[in-house]
Amino acid sequence: MSLHNKKIEEIVSIFDTDLNKGLSNEEAKKRLEKNGKNELKEANKKTIFQIFFEQINDVMIYVLIVAAVITTIVNKEFTDAIIILLVVIVNAVVGVTQELKAGKALEALKKMTNPKAVVIRSGKTFEINSSDLVVGDIVLLDAGRVVPADLRLVETSSLQIEESSFTGESVPVNKDASVILEEDTLMSDRINLAFMSTLVSYGRAKGVVIATSNDTQIGKIADMLDTEDEKTPLQVKMNKLGKQLGYIAIVICVLIFVIGIMQKRGAVEMLITSISLAVAAIPEGLVAIIAIVLSLGVTRMSKKNAIIKKLPAVETLGSVNYICSDKTGTLTQNKMTVVKTFTKDIDENLLTKAFILSSDAKIEGDIQIGDPTELALIAKGINEGILRDSLDELHPRVDEYSFDSDRKLMSTLVKNKDSFRVYTKGALDNLLKISTHIVVDGNVVEFTDSLKEEVLEKAHDMAKEALRVLAVAYKDTDTKISSDEFENNLVFIGISGMIDPPRMQAFDSIKKAHKAGIAVVMITGDHKDTAFAIAKNLNIASSEDQTISGPELEEMSDEMLEKVVTNYRVFSRVSPVHKVRIVKALRKNNNIVSMTGDGVNDAPSLKSADIGVAMGITGTDVAKGASSMILTDDDFSTIVVAIEEGRNIYDNIKKAIIFLLSCNLGEVISIFIATILAWPIPLIATQILWINLVTDSLPALALGVDPISTDQMSKKPRDKDENFFSQGAWFRALVGGTLIGTLTLSAFVIGLIEKGYSLNTLSMADEPSLAYARTMAFIVLTVSQLFYAYTTRSSEESLIKIGIFKNKFLNYSLIIGLVLQFSLLYIPVLSDAFKVTKLSIFDLDIVILFALIPVIVNELIKKFIKFK
């Protein structure tokens, strides 16, 4: 029900209350019992068990669990299965911990919306907990008090309310109870209403409670936050990959089992063989490796002032192609600053002193009290060495005429030695009407039309730059005069233009984002001209055609908005609902959207975006709770740094996946071909598991922390639907895996031939001969994979160009892998467990040569074949 368009008498009637006496205590108690506490209702919380189940409810996890069962069947013992299950459990515990730390948005909302409230009940005024407020209560407001519920104002006296965390406006809003508004008036323009959780910065008021709890505007925001989290692009791709690997494993099992039966092999033998192939097809360490790579990325990013709340968000950042940024406090400093002044006087100090003496604001160290525009004037004085305390001592205030929205002026009367002086500041138009003289070069002269025109022209220039213009004047008097005599026959001093200025770091960051193919969009509650001026200054928008306002959005359907949303770079005068619509429209156009913000009003859109980014210093707890990432320095440039890190992490994950799948393909090919040809299996299940969990994992982890390439931010964002096998990755994986597999099988065959068997008699090989041949195959497979990791560091640049030994962790993995691998040959206990034996020098040379071939071939592919 709209209440901003109704008269006060109607409001009183609708809520059956009394403006002077308020509700009776008995009636308030009844309404509280009927409607409940004035607190935001929390959504049903998930239990730890539910969160844990969500972490393991993933196709890749199921594949790992199946692998654990298969391993137990093959090996007839539980050690390997326990290792796999530990990987699953550790991964799930990490996820549960992350989620318990996150999801605090509703709790933060509840905490910030339960201040004290001054009410009138049964004709008496007293203070109660705001949670006990009911609709129809009469609430009193004064400066510094948090609005405890949604109110229809019925009396206002110079009331200003700070709504930047709610509407996005950077200056307090003047409120007026007497105004009757149109029904379709925007929420941010409803000046006869006060909204729950906003702050009274000036004046006094009386209001009727018209909504409590989740019926308030902030309650509606809380309801918007209570939505299911969507899966990130990485989670979607990993689920798809997991399904594909699962299907492949099943097909391999069935196919090999059928082939074996057709070859008249034993059913038990073929079951073990097919299960071995399935184990070879599944990279057991993949889930753990990705979790570790993401965790390491989170740690690195925390050192760069970006706190990641959910691991997959690291990768999501790397695919972002739209940054939707709040203006106030994100692109700007959330601090009004005087940037231009104009006076005809030779002494500009007079202008500064006049503004300070006609203000109420104070700055004491880090403590700032007062209206942001007045604080800007006080800060200007401090920068010029003009301190408020010193001025107040020399010119103590005697009287004042408070600001009100009709006059748009504020006046003070101060003692000036043996006389008095009036200082008046406020709207230029109003001040021009009551000024008869002006200070020019230290002299007071008549304020002629031509001089007024000059002042108006300067003010117009400031307005074109979206500066908020304030004017100031004075009047000397020998005696103390009453306030109704303050504002006439004034001497005009000058004007100041102020704005919430852009963050200096934002300029370079936006330039980098554009170079990386990322569009930057400003979404703000400020007026169109102010928003566009900032956006143009920051090179976000180049023409006013790229701006659109909230009222214009209201006239668009969701379908229409989806069609035109990419045409705009500035969205002004928007509500929280508009922000969510904008983010969703961009995502409908297959964009990966990041939304930055710091206010309560940003929370729903932060949660709706692919990745929400909250400010850590100025951000509200609500915004932090709804976000995926928090910037500890509130620096927009940190977002660009995080995107660069995210891009690199995705590339590294892709390298690790392609590497692991190439290696596993090699295992599958060697076993598959041997089975088809009715040869002995070249690798046993224990050897395969060793490779998958140990030898493969170390290089894969090292690839996961590969250094950032220098051209990372000169590339366009990758397509949302791009899979891990794009840009020729499938071809390189196929070639690499085929080579590794055939060379492994070749080493196996060479080993058996050296023992006196021919191709026709390989199936009759005895156990010692098989152990020797399998050792050759085992070494070729493991060492070739250790070498192959180096060539997968880049899909385009040669090993020499990227630097063979630049990734120190890959060097460590090579050394450790070789040491571990050859330990299996020369430590009897291990060689017995893995059924391997020592090799001759000649055969060692053969396996090393074979291990180098896949690297050489992949380097030739880079040189002669280019993929798009």
Q: Strands of 748-855 (E only): list them.
A: none
Cβ proximity of 277 and 248 under 8 Å: no
Q: Which is it for strands 397-401 and 409-416: parallel, antiparallel or unpaired?
A: antiparallel
343-393 per-position pLDDT tens digit: 999 888 999 999 999 998 888 877 777 788 899 999 999 999 999 999 999
CA atoms lying within 13 Å on the CB side of residue 323? 32
CA distance 553 to 581: 9
Q: Give pLDDT tens digits for 719-750.
A: 767 777 777 788 888 999 999 999 999 999 99
Q: Which CATH number fits domain 233-304+642-864: 3.40.50.280, 3.40.190.10, 1.20.1110.10, 3.20.20.70?
A: 1.20.1110.10
The CA R_g of the chain, rounded to the nearest whole Å, is 36
- Which residue reads 């706190």 in tokens? 307
Distance CA 688, CA 612 (A): 42
Positive or negative: CA dihedral 455, 456, 460, 463: positive
Could you give the residue numbers annotated as active site?
Answer: 326
Integer angstrom CA distances of residue 731 from 242, 724, 740, 866: 20, 12, 14, 11
Q: Are 140 and 43 in contact (CB under 8 A)?
A: no
Does residue 259 sit in helix, strand or coil? Answer: helix
Task: Give the number of residues written for the chain.
Answer: 868
Count CB atoms within 10 A of the CB of residue 789: 27
Specify the DSSP class assigned to residue 48.
H
pLDDT in the model for residue 102:
43
Mean pLDDT of the chain: 84
What pLDDT does residue 193 have? 94
Q: Please tell me the least confidently modeled range out of 440-454, 478-492, 567-581.
A: 567-581
Q: In which residue are the tokens 């195959």 written?
A: 777
Residue 80 pLDDT: 57
CB burial class (10 A; 0-12, 13-18, 19+) of residue 642?
buried
CA distance linking residue 776 with residue 552, whole number of Å = 73
Instruction: Give residue 169's pLDDT band: very low, low, confident or very high (50, 70, 90).
Output: low
Whole-number Å distance between alpha carbons of 392 and 852: 83
702 touches 817 (CB < 8 A): no
The pLDDT tens digits for 524-560 are 877 888 889 889 989 999 999 999 998 899 899 999 9
Alpha-carbon span 657 to 704, nearest angstrom: 10
Query: What is the distance between the alpha carbons of residues 357 and 392, in angstroms, rounded to a whole number?
Result: 7
Q: Are 521 and 540 in contact (CB under 8 A)?
A: yes
Please give the average per-residue pLDDT across 471-479, as a whole number. Answer: 95
What 3 state SS string does 436-468 have?
A: EEEEECCEEEECCHHHHHHHHHHHHHHHHCCCE
Spatial contact of 748 and 682, defined as CB atoms under 8 Å apart: yes
CB of 569 closer than 8 Å to CB of 575: no
Tokens of 273: 């063989």
Q: How far apart are CA 462 and CA 458, in angstroms?
A: 6
- Work out the pLDDT band at 621, boundaries 50, 70, 90: low
Tell me, rounded to whole angstroms, the distance of Cα 532 from its chain centroid: 24
Determine the pLDDT at residue 112.
46
What mean pLDDT do residues 5-18 have?
91
What DSSP string runs through 326-348?
EIIIIIB-SS-EEEEEEESSS-T
For 367, counting Cβ atoms within 10 Å of its Cβ (0-12 exposed, 13-18 middle, 19+ buried), the class is exposed
Contact 712, 295 (CB under 8 A): no
> Residue 533 carries which side chain, given as an amino acid letter?
A
Contacting residues for 817 by C-beta, under 8 A, at least 6 apart? 695, 698, 699, 782, 783, 786
Domain range annotation of the chain:
8-35+109-225, 233-304+642-864, 306-332+503-634, 337-499
CB of 136 closer than 8 Å to CB of 31 = yes
At 433, which amino acid appears? Answer: K
Nearest residue to 770 via CA among 747, 751, 783, 756: 751
pLDDT greater than 50 at residue 31: yes
pLDDT band at residue 109 using 50, 70 and 90 as cut-offs: very low
Residue pLDDT, tens place only, 175-189: 999 889 988 887 778
Measured in Å, how far apart are the chain's first and last C-alpha atoms? 57
Contacts of 164 (CB under 8 A, 6+ apart): 170, 171, 328, 329, 334, 525, 599
**How many CA within 13 A on the CB side of residue 151?**
34
Q: Which distant-in-sequence residues (6+ apart) come within 8 Å of 49 by Cβ?
A: none
Confidence of residue 201 (pLDDT cuts 50, 70, 90): confident
**Residue type at 229 in one-letter notation:** D
pLDDT tens track for 638-656: 888 888 888 888 888 888 8
Question: Mapping DSSP to helix (H, G, I), strand (E, B) and coil, where does residue 232 land?
Answer: coil
Q: How far is CA 230 from the centre of its chain?
A: 14
Higher pLDDT, 67 or 389: 389
CA 576 to chain centre: 17
77 sits in the region (left: phi over 0; alpha: psi -120 to 50; else beta) called beta
Structure tokens at 127: 């203070």
- Identify the pLDDT of residue 103: 46
Strand runs (DSSP E) across 196-266, as ranges? 199-211
Check for a shared fold between 8-35+109-225 and 233-304+642-864: no
Distance CA 317, CA 632 (A): 17
CATH architecture of 8-35+109-225: Distorted Sandwich (2.70)
For the beta sheet containing 322-326, the strands, ordered from the edge strand earlier in sequence to the opposite edge, are 306-308, 629-631, 611-615, 593-597, 322-326, 519-523, 570-572, 547-549
Nearest to 119 by CA among 36, 40, 30, 208: 208
295/650 Cα distance (integer angstroms): 13
Write phi, then psi, for 494 (nearest 5 degrees): 170, -170
227 pLDDT higher than 60: no
Task: State which H helix or E strand residue 14 sits in.
Answer: helix 8-14
Confidence grade of residue 839 (pLDDT, cut at 50, 70, 90): very high
For the residues 158-163, what does the mean pLDDT come to?
85
Letter for the amino acid at 395?
H
603, 596 contact by CB (below 8 A)? no
Which of 50-54, 70-74, 221-225, 452-456 is modeled with the greatest confidence? 452-456
Residue 171 vs residues 313, 410, 767: alpha-carbon distances, Å:
33, 17, 84
Closest CA to 529 of 504, 508, 503, 499: 499
pTM reported for the whole predicted model: 0.68
Instruction: Give the CATH number of domain 337-499; options: 2.40.128.50, 2.40.30.170, 3.30.56.10, 3.40.1110.10.
Output: 3.40.1110.10
Q: Is 126 helix (H, G, I), strand (E, B) or coil?
A: strand
Distance CA 255, CA 690 (A): 25
pLDDT in tens, 760-792: 899 888 989 999 999 999 999 999 999 999 999
Residue 110 has pLDDT above 50, yes or no: no
pLDDT beyond 90 at 456: yes
The closest of 403, 391, 398 to 422, measured between CA atoms, is 398
- C-beta separation of 378 from 361 below 8 A: yes
* Whether residue 267 has pLDDT greater than 90: no
Closest C-alpha among 99, 95, 104 to residue 42: 104
The residues pairing with 443 across neighbouring beta strands, listed in sequence order, are 440
Residue-level pLDDT at 106: 40
The domain over range 306-332+503-634 is classified in CATH as 1.10.3720.10 = no
